[in-house]
């Protein structure tokens, strides 16, 4: 993978910039932290060199100053909202986040349940947190939010919310996902701090869109592709242009809400500390790009992947036709088509020749590896095995997995677990390879190549099982699939 982003520079400059923002106020800054903290795989895909845990590592450099507050919407608890990438509900993810932060030496001060209006499931979750020794605060729904500013910035608005007791100069407000109420929590705290004579500040940390890249830069277009379900649209920040005569990119929701924020800031502070929504941000990612073309190409590939994911979602019912149309327009703006993803053509050609499901992988050195469905292996499992053999320099025809390792797994599947398909999935072929590695040097050598698969591109001629998709994801492989089921039936 060609590196386009200086991760070490990012960690240094980003943490320093946040320290400078803290000093602009009374040594108290509420930082709305958007995006994923632990596993920002989108950023690592479009900015090759960006580590998925970079934002967490950056925060760890501020560990002595930082306190984390996790917010969750009562409505999301009530609806059992699920994180699509992890498959767990938002309330469960709050518990995961607390453990994960504390394991890294970061202090979690409390949890805030926002937009509360008597939801019984929120009451149960609050009780559960208290039994676990976690401080919990409640923030309420405000009638007319965000337009009714006189009510919002009053004792009957923000004033009704419980004041969050914090002890450190940097308060990081994060959440399991979007729409949790991070910004409202920050503003509520500013109101309460002002009442206590503390001139606390607010800033926003979002990696995308990158404000100092152009509107049509593929990195910013890839952000639009990632958020088509939220209707996020990148725009030139008109407030920044008017105030400074400089072009900056932001997204529609921040631009639309800025006049309201200005009025709220005015009511709390007397005047707004910011002239534009871009002013509120502290993102330094743009200054850490060291190979612009590498980031452009990585982002073009991401847009194509998002398009295929939407086509798959259309088939499974998790995506709308409108989202597919938007992604097609983004592909036009980025000047890419499916043909720009080399593994697509390779997989489809292999499927046409074999008359069955097939898969293709592009290795880091440009070699194209394919796999087909056999009596023993599914196409994805065959592809994975072929790629490991190619990387290890093992002849394609040489069997690195002994039949003695495959047969027990097949018997377990069909005789004991009720599966009709004896073929091995990707996770099962890795188990079989691991078993063979105890007696075979070739199998051991093939297994040792697994880290080299990170960042490789894969396309399959049919949609994969959840097991195969998760295996590819864990290996860091970037996957797309045709929107087509392997079997012609209604229930899958």
Query: Is position 109 within any domain?
Result: yes
Last residue of a domain, one of 226, 261, 288: 288
Check whether residue 33 and residue 143 sit in a common domain: yes
Query: Is position 490 within any domain?
Result: no
Which residues, at least 6 apart from 60, have a Cβ–Cβ distance to it below 8 Å?
104, 105, 106
Q: What whole-number distance in Å separates Cα of residue 386 and Cα of residue 371?
A: 7
Check whether residue 253 and residue 354 sit in a common domain: no
Query: Is position 293 within any domain?
Result: no
Exposed, middle or buried, 147 (CB in 10 Å: 0-12/13-18/19+)?
exposed
101-105, 331-335, 485-489 — which is least confidently predicted? Answer: 485-489
Task: State the pLDDT confidence band at 490, using cuts at 50, 70 and 90.
Answer: low
Check whether residue 99 and residue 168 sit in a common domain: yes
Q: What whole-number distance in Å separates Cα of residue 364 and Cα of residue 372?
A: 21
pLDDT score of 281: 94
Reply yes or no on whether the pLDDT at 423 is more than 90. no
Task: Please provide the average confidence, as pLDDT, over all residues in the chain.
Answer: 93
What average pLDDT score do residues 271-294 get?
Answer: 95
Q: Which of 130, 194, 197 is nearest to 159 (CA)?
A: 194
Higher pLDDT, residue 36 or 287: 287
- The pLDDT tens digits for 167-200 are 999 999 999 988 899 999 999 999 999 999 999 9
Q: What whole-number distance in Å separates Cα of residue 253 and Cα of residue 182?
A: 14
Check whether residue 148 and residue 278 sit in a common domain: yes
What spatial distance separates the first Cα and last Cα of the chain, rounded to whole Å?
35
pLDDT score of 85: 67
Task: State the pLDDT confidence band at 232, using cuts at 50, 70 and 90.
Answer: confident
Cβ neighbours of 83 (radius 10 Å): 15
Residue whose tokens read 């590498």: 294
Q: What whole-number distance in Å separates Cα of residue 405 and Cα of residue 163?
A: 60
Check whether residue 353 and residue 255 sit in a common domain: no
Check whether residue 350 and residue 279 sit in a common domain: no
Check whether residue 187 and residue 276 sit in a common domain: yes
- The pLDDT tens digits for 45-60 are 999 999 999 999 999 9
Last residue of a domain, one of 272, 288, 304: 288
pLDDT score of 245: 97
Q: What whole-number distance in Å separates Cα of residue 367 and Cα of residue 47?
A: 23
Query: Is position 172 within any domain?
Result: yes
Tokens of 99: 């453990």
What average pLDDT score do residues 5-9 get?
Answer: 97
Using left for φ > 0, alpha for ψ between -120 and 50, and beta otherwise, residue 335 falls in left
- The pLDDT tens digits for 236-256 are 999 999 999 999 999 998 999
Query: Is position 296 within any domain?
Result: no
Residues belonging to the chain: 492
For the chain, percent of residues with pLDDT exceeding 70: 99
Q: Which residues constitute the domain of residue 174? A: 7-288
- The pLDDT tens digits for 62-94 are 999 999 999 999 999 999 988 866 778 999 999
Contact (CB, 8 A) for 100 and 38? yes
Kindly state the helix (H) or strand (E) to which residue 358 belongs, with its residue range.
Answer: strand 358-362
Q: What whole-number distance in Å separates Cα of residue 51 and Cα of residue 370?
A: 28
- The pLDDT tens digits for 366-412 are 999 999 998 889 999 999 999 999 999 999 999 999 777 788 888 88
Check whether residue 281 and residue 352 sit in a common domain: no
Q: What is the pTM of this model?
A: 0.89
Which residue blocks in 230-284 are alpha helix, DSSP H? 238-244, 252-269, 277-280
Task: State the pLDDT confidence band at 34, using cuts at 50, 70 and 90.
Answer: confident
Look at the chain and report how many structural domains it folds into: 2
- Can you tell me whether residue 458 is helix, strand or coil? strand
What average pLDDT score do residues 14-22 get?
Answer: 93
pLDDT score of 491: 57
CATH number at residue 39: 3.10.630.10
Check whether residue 156 and residue 244 sit in a common domain: yes
What average pLDDT score do residues 412-435 get?
Answer: 88
Task: State the pLDDT confidence band at 284, using cuts at 50, 70 and 90.
Answer: very high
Check whether residue 86 and residue 199 sit in a common domain: yes
Half-sphere exposure of 146 (CA within 13 A, CB side): 18
Give the DSSP letter string of 154-206: STTTGGGSPPPP--SSEEEEE-SSTTS-HHHHHHHHHHHHHHTT---EEEEE-
Q: Which of 492, 474, 485, 487 is nearest to 384 (CA)?
A: 474
Q: What whole-number distance in Å separates Cα of residue 45 and Cα of residue 53?
A: 13
For helices 379-392 and 466-474, give the axis angle rounded to 10 degrees. Answer: 20
- The pLDDT tens digits for 310-337 are 999 999 998 999 999 999 999 999 999 9
Reply yes or no on whether the pLDDT at 38 is more than 90. no
For the chain, percent of residues with pLDDT exceeding 90: 82
CATH number at residue 350: 3.40.140.40
């Amino acid at each position: 993978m060609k590196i386009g982003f200086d991760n070490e520079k990012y960690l240094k400059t980003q943490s320093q910039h946040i320290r400078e923002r803290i000093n602009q106020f009374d040594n108290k800054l509420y930082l709305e932290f958007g995006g994923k903290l632990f596993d920002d795989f989108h950023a690592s895909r479009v900015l090759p060199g960006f580590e998925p845990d970079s934002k967490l590592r950056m925060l760890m450099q501020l560990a002595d100053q930082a306190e984390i507050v996790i917010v969750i919407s009562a409505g999301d608890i009530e609806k059992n909202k699920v994180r699509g990438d992890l498959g767990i509900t938002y309330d469960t993810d709050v518990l995961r986040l607390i453990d994960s932060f504390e394991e890294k030496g970061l202090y979690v001060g409390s949890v805030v349940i926002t937009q509360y209006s008597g939801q019984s499931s929120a009451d149960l979750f609050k009780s559960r947190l208290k039994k676990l020794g976690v401080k919990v605060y409640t923030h309420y729904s405000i009638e007319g939010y965000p337009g009714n500013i006189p009510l919002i910035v009053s004792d009957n608005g923000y004033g009704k919310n419980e004041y969050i007791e914090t002890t450190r100069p940097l308060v990081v407000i994060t959440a399991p996902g979007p729409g949790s109420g991070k910004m409202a929590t920050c503003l509520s705290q500013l109101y309460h701090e002002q009442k206590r004579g503390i001139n606390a500040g607010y800033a926003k940390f979002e990696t995308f869109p990158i404000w100092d890249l152009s509107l049509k830069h593929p990195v910013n277009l890839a952000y639009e592709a990632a958020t088509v379900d939220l209707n996020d649209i990148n725009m030139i920040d008109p407030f920044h242009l008017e105030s400074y005569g400089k072009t900056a990119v932001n997204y529609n929701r921040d631009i639309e809400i800025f006049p309201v924020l200005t009025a709220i800031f005015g009511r709390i502070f007397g005047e707004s500390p910011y002239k534009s929504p871009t002013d509120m941000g502290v993102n330094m990612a743009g200054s850490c790009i060291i190979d612009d073309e590498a980031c452009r190409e990585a982002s073009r590939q991401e847009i194509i992947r998002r398009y295929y994911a939407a086509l798959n979602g259309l088939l499974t019912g998790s995506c709308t036709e409108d989202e597919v149309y938007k992604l097609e327009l983004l592909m036009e703006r980025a000047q890419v088509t499916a043909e720009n993803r080399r593994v697509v053509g390779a997989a489809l050609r292999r499927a046409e020749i074999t008359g069955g499901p097939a898969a293709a992988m592009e290795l880091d050195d440009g070699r194209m590896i394919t796999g087909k469905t056999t009596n023993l292996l599914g196409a994805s499992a065959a592809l994975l095995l072929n790629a490991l053999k190619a990387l290890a320099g093992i002849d394609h025809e040489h069997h690195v997995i002994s039949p003695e390792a495959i047969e027990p797994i097949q018997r377990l599947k069909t005789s004991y677990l009720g599966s009709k398909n004896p073929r091995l999935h990707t996770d099962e072929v890795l188990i079989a390879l691991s078993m063979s590695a105890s007696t075979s040097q070739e199998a051991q050598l093939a297994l040792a190549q697994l880290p080299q698969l990170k960042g490789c591109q894969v396309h399959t001629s049919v949609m994969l099982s959840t097991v195969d998709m998760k295996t590819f994801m864990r290996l860091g492989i970037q996957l797309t699939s045709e929107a087509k089921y392997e079997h012609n039936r209604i229930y899958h």
